[in-house]
Structures are given as structure tokens and as C-alpha cells.
Amino acid sequence: MKNIAKTILVILVAIYANTITAQSSLDKKTLVAIGNESVTVGEFMKVYQKNNALSDTTYRESVKEYLDLFINFKLKVMEAEALKMDTASTFVKELEGYRTQLAKPYFVDESVNEALLQEAYNRELNDIRASHILIMVDENSRPEDTLTAYKKVMNIREEILSGKKTFAEAAMEYSDDQSANDREAVQGQSGFRPGNKGDLGYFTVFNMVYPFESAAYNTPAGEISMPVRSRFGYHLVKVTDKRDAMGVAEVAHIFVAVRPEATEEDAARKTEKINNIYQKIQEGMTFEEAVKEYSEDKGSLQNEGKLSKFTSSRVVPEFVLVVDSLKVGEVAPPVRTLYGYHIIKLISRETPGTFADESAQLKERVTKDQRSHKSEDAVIASIKKDNKFKTYPKNKDAVIAAMDTTILAGTFDSKAFKAMTNPVMKLGKTEYTQADFAHYAEKNQKKTEKVDKDIYANQLFDQFVNASCLDYMDQRLETMYPDFKDLMKEYHDGILLFNLTDEEVWSKAVKDTLGLQQFFDNHHDNYRFGERVDATVYKIRNKKDADKVATLIAESDNDGDLAKALDRDSIKSVRMTPGKFEQGTDNYIDAVEWKPGVTGPIKSDVEDLVVFVKIREVIPPQAKELKEARGLVTADYQTYLEKAWIEQLKEKYPVVVNKEVLELLLNKSN
């Protein structure tokens, strides 16, 4: 039994192998020769199947019809190339523009993008409240200055963890973020403002720079992060609260101001006032009446106390906590902020939806955010790995040492570096020289202040490496990705086809007025009106006017007289549509008997209208003038020009279809 099964399996494998071999053999056969170019079955079928050609017909009919279209297409492209249209600067520029767009997906790591999108959504579901201590250090600082800042922030962290200082005390003493400390009043400019002691309040995804955001979301509540570097310097982040996202809220409030420097007596008086207001609301006074009567916020007073919609990062933490405690329509007891007292009413609240709901807007924000560089970084890392990336540090240091401070002024000239031909990096078999880097530096330099020359030059070198990696891959896209090569071929041929067809057919038919007239004269019997009526359709929007309008239509000799009569009687509800109508051009015209006179009222099935139709004359079938048929004539003339052009091209580039191979293809199972 096993032997029989084995034999059957061997036979099936052999049949399958023979089928594949036969198909492969057919694919390599020449199906058609066009001029000096031969097209194999495989090449033709690749295009045919990609376009799912003529799927509403049988396979045999579809292949034969598409082959005719394919031949005509190849003839036109061949002619365009013979005319060197593909070398024109406008064509080259247009194709390069398309290539830039088509290449973009190849420079994106989709797995990284998907991870960033999911990360953003997960973070959107929570609000974080955090404090920070900032030790500023410029992103262009020397390594030794960066190390000094890092040691300082680590020492501060150790002081806090050892209990020598609270986080708030350390923020007030050490942080370079000036908002941590009290700001004294300035006469005539600003009042006293208490420091936040490092407390940044609540925030969510995209509210902070990405490194800071990541540190906050990755640090458990109550703990302090390790130092995190942003473009501002080093941060210590203490997370004080993590809660479900507040989302977007709209509230109204009653406000009673309390200055930060208010005396105890003033504060007590304000406390009594806000409590009395709240008591009145409890006893039945409407919130809106209380706003009008008592609120000290002039900005929201005229809008029943309503504030603009906000997210957690746009308001003081007390507002977030109150919103989280309320249902829509509820009013919270008074709450004090650094501005004073508020009685808050929740008007609406929209929390984040599902991943499917949020992904579109999140994707757009991820693309525009600093984190989007992670995708490109992943692509560059892959290019380096796949092509055995290598740098030559000594040669790099030598060319940087040879550069002077003109690189900081933005006036560096690379001409003197042409003789520096030692490699600074290598990708695959391609070496990039010191002169290449110097030329890149000249083209990409920017005036830069307060930066060390060597640090800036090294930054330019890093940019040079990344740009070279991307350019290396860009130059090899067609080789690396056959689908991209095919796509670029399609765009190349498609642009040529459009440009030449426009020149030989579409625009020519419009511009060639003598040829169009001659074509019309030779085929004028093809352009005739059917039976028509000279009529007007009257649509009356106000039914009360219907009887009066019907009388005026009957009394008026023409639409001009009717318009004057309607204006005299101040009737504005009538719309007149006069014209010469064939069957099928107007539903109301089709619905009435075609004889002179007025028909109506007709009620519309879909609109709240009363309609009358007045037929002045029934016009028998007659020939059209060119101006009346120009659109149809132009289209037919274009078809005529294209057919004549194709015949000329076939004479110039003889077409020979291999009928035997075509028959084999037609008999192949689709």
C-alpha cells in the first residue's frame, strides 16, 4: 500500500514539475516582435495579470483584446523614445518627482512605525503628572561638559534618594528651569507668582519632547528616573500620578480671584464668598444665574462661564482632578488653584476611542514628531549592516582637523580638499573620501554660534554618513527591488505615452480647426438631433404661489414678460429653465405630452415643488451644426487621428505576432 501511495506521489510530482517546466518554457517564448524589440509571453502576461485586464470577458477574448492594446502602447512609447522625448528636461524632472514619491516607502521601517503608533496610542490612554529637575547642557557641548552635567544630575539624584532633600527642595535649589522658584512681582509688569517646585502638572502623549515623555511613561508612580537627555539638557523625572486619560473636556466655571500674596484675612473673605455661592446653587439657583451674578472671570462671563475645550496639559492639575470626578452636567464643590477659587461644571468630555478610531490622527502626529526619526534610523542601521559599513577614524579626524572656523561662519570652501582622497567610510565596495565629506560639508554648512568647530564638523560627518547610506540605497532601488523597477518603467512609459498622445491626438484635435471641420463635413450625418421641444420648465418652491404663477404663465407671451410679472407681484419662488430638450434630458419634459401648450401642476416625487411645463414648439429631427456637436465631433476626431497614427507607427515599426505561441497562450488555463 505504501509503495502504491509513493508511486502516485512520484507521478503527481512529475506531472507538476512538467507543468511548471512547460509554463516556464512558454514564458520565455517570443509572443510579438515590434520593430527591433521582442516581447516574451512572460513579459506580456506580467503586465496583463497586473492590470487584471478585461476581466468581464472570457480569457481568450481578454488576452487577444489586451494584446492589441499592449501593441499600441508599445508602438507609442517606442516612437516617443525615437523622438528622444525621454531626454527632455521637463520629462526628466517630472519622472524624478514621481520617483522621489514612489521611493519613500522603501526608506521607512514599517515595523518601527507600527510600534511607535501603538506606543502613542497606549500613552494616549493615560495622563501623567510629573515633576522634573533640569540641568541645562547644550546639545553641541563638548564631551567633558556633558559629563560634568551628567555627574551633577546624578549627585542630585543621590541626595534625594538618600533623604537629604525632597524632590521639591532639590528642584528649587538646583533646577535650571526657572519656573521651579517663586517669581517676585515687578512693578507695573507682573504680579508675584509662586514657583511650581518642579511640578509640571498633568500631560499626555506629544505634550513633551519625546525623551522626556518616554522617561515619564516608563517610570512607575512615586519613583525617580535615571537622568534622561533632551535637547535642553539632563532631566530627573519624578512621576507623582498616573491616571486614565481625561481626554478633551469642556467646563464652565464661577471664578473668585485670590492673589497668591493675599493676606489671611483676604483669603478668608474669598473663601466665605465662594462657599456662599456654592450654597446658593445647592439651594436651587441655576449655575448660569450664579455665573452672571457672581463670577469674576470677565472673559467667560458672557458665555455662561464656559471655557475653551482643553486637555490635561492645558490646565492646572486641580482642574484635571475635578473633571475626573464629575459626570456631564454635574457641579463640583469649590476648588482652589494658584489663581483663586473655582466652582466647576462639566459640560462635555471626550475620552480616547479605540485604536482604530485614533490611529489616523496619531499616525499624522507621529510622522511630524521627533520620534519619527526612529524609523529612518532603523533603515540606516539596516543599510549599514547589509553593506558592511566601515569608517576610517584617522582619516576622518585628519580632514576635520584640516577644516578651519569658516565652517562655523557658513563660508567653508572645499576646493582645497580635492587632493584628500583617503577613505572616511565604506559601503559595500563604494568608498567615500575625505574630499567627498568636505564637499558635503560645504553644501550643508550653516552659520553656527557658540559651538566648538570639531564638534560641529563631527555632527556634519554623522549627517554625511546618514545621507550617504540613504543615497547608496536610493541608487540601487531598481536592482534591489524588481517591483520598484517595474513601477518606474510603468511611470516612464506612461508619461511618454501621455505626452506624445496629447501632442499627436488630444491637443491636435482641439487645435486643428480645419481638420475638425473637414471631419465634421465628411461625417455630418452622424450628428443629428432627435425630435425636440422648445419649452420652459417652471419650478415653484412655494406652493401658495402655484395658482397665481399658472395664471401668469398662461397670460405671458414669453419668459421675459413672465419674469417682469413675477417681479411686479413680488413672487420670488419661481425658477425657470428654458431650452430645447430631447427625450431623456429632463424628467418633467419627458413626463408631459409633446404638443404646444402648458401642462401642470406636476408634483415632484423627491422635492417639495410644484412644476409647470410650457411647450412652445415641437421640432422635428434635424442635422446639428458643428458648434452644437463640437464635444462629440472632437472625441470622434481624436479616435480617427489615433487610428491613423497607429497605422503609421505599424508601418514604421512592423508588428509580427507569433500566432503559434499566441495559440498556446490562449489554450493555457487562466
Give tens-digit pLDDT for 117-151: 999 999 999 999 999 999 999 988 989 999 999 99
Is the pLDDT at 12 greater than 90? The verdict is no
Residues comprising the chain, all counted: 670
Using CA atoms, how far apart are residues 404 and 240, in angstroms rounded to an integer?
49
DSSP state, residue 190: B
3-state secondary structure of 209: coil
Distance of CA 462 to the CA centre of its chain: 29
Q: Does residue 486 form part of some domain?
A: no
Q: Which of 582, 599, 623 is the last residue of a domain?
A: 623
Residue 4's pLDDT is what?
42
* 569 contacts 540 by C-beta, under 8 angstroms: no
pLDDT (average), residues 567-577? 92
Domain holding 463, by residue range, is 387-477
In CATH, what number is assigned to the domain containing residue 609?
3.10.50
Which are the contacts of 75, defined by CB distance < 8 A and separation ≥ 6? 34, 646, 649, 650, 653, 655
3-state secondary structure of 227: coil
pLDDT (average), residues 503-524? 94
Residue 39's pLDDT is what?
95
pLDDT tens-place string over residues 223-264: 999 999 999 999 999 999 999 999 999 999 999 999 888 889
Q: Does residue 438 form part of some domain?
A: yes
pLDDT (average), residues 271-293? 96
The label of the residue with cell 402655484 reads 546
Q: Which of 297, 331, 351 is the last residue of a domain?
A: 351
Q: Does residue 307 form part of some domain?
A: yes
Q: Does residue 262 form part of some domain?
A: yes
Using CA atoms, how far apart are residues 354 and 362, in angstroms rounded to an integer?
12
φ/ψ of residue 584, rounded to 5: 95, -5
Residue 186's pLDDT is what?
72
Of the candidates 1, 61, 65, 71, the residue with the CA atom closest to the CA atom of residue 31: 71
* 348 contacts 249 by C-beta, under 8 angstroms: yes
Of the candidates 249, 196, 252, 241, the residue with the CA atom closest to the CA atom of residue 217: 241
C-alpha dihedral, 431 to 432 to 435 to 438, nearest 10°: -170
Looking at every residue in the chain, the average pLDDT score rounds to 92
- Compare 262 and 218 and report the one with higher pLDDT: 218
Q: Are residues 146 and 236 in the same domain?
A: yes
Residue 2's pLDDT is what?
43
Sign, CA dihedral 103-108-109-111, equals negative
pLDDT tens-place string over residues 400-432: 999 999 999 999 999 999 999 999 999 999 999
240 burial class (0-12, 13-18, 19+ CB within 10 angstroms)?
Answer: middle
pLDDT tens-place string over residues 631-653: 999 999 999 999 999 999 999 99
Residue 440's pLDDT is what?
98
Residue 669's pLDDT is what?
57
Residue 53's pLDDT is what?
55
Q: Are residues 439 and 338 in the same domain?
A: no
Residue 320's pLDDT is what?
97
Alpha-carbon separation of residue 177 from 170, 171, 645 (angstroms): 12, 8, 75
| Phi-psi sector, 539: left (phi>0), alpha (psi -120 to 50), beta | beta
Q: Are residues 183 and 279 in the same domain?
A: no
Whole-prediction pTM: 0.74
Q: Are residues 226 and 134 in the same domain?
A: yes
pLDDT tens-place string over residues 70-81: 999 999 999 999
Using CA atoms, how far apart are residues 512 and 471, in angstroms rounded to an integer?
47
Residue 54's pLDDT is what?
53
Is the pLDDT at 183 greater than 60? The verdict is yes
pLDDT tens-place string over residues 327-339: 999 999 999 999 9
Is the pLDDT at 37 greater than 90? The verdict is yes
Q: Are residues 434 and 446 in the same domain?
A: yes
* 195 contacts 183 by C-beta, under 8 angstroms: yes
Is the pLDDT at 543 greater than 80? The verdict is yes
Q: Are residues 308 and 228 in the same domain?
A: no
In CATH, what number is assigned to the domain containing residue 140?
3.10.50.40
Q: Are residues 200 and 261 in the same domain?
A: no
Is the pLDDT at 14 greater than 70? The verdict is no
Q: Does residue 635 form part of some domain?
A: no
Q: Does residue 46 form part of some domain?
A: no
Cα 271–277–280 angle (5° rounding)? Answer: 140
pLDDT (average), residues 580-586? 93
pLDDT (average), residues 381-393? 97
Q: Are residues 260 and 164 in the same domain?
A: no
Q: Are residues 140 and 223 in the same domain?
A: yes
Alpha-carbon separation of residue 102 from 51, 351, 376, 380, 490 (angstroms): 19, 37, 16, 18, 12
Residue 649's pLDDT is what?
97
Residue 1's pLDDT is what?
43
* 239 contacts 223 by C-beta, under 8 angstroms: yes
Q: Does residue 394 form part of some domain?
A: yes
State how many domains the chain has: 4
Q: Are residues 405 and 471 in the same domain?
A: yes
Residue 21's pLDDT is what?
43
Q: Are residues 262 and 236 in the same domain?
A: no
Q: Does residue 661 form part of some domain?
A: no
Q: Are residues 158 and 232 in the same domain?
A: yes
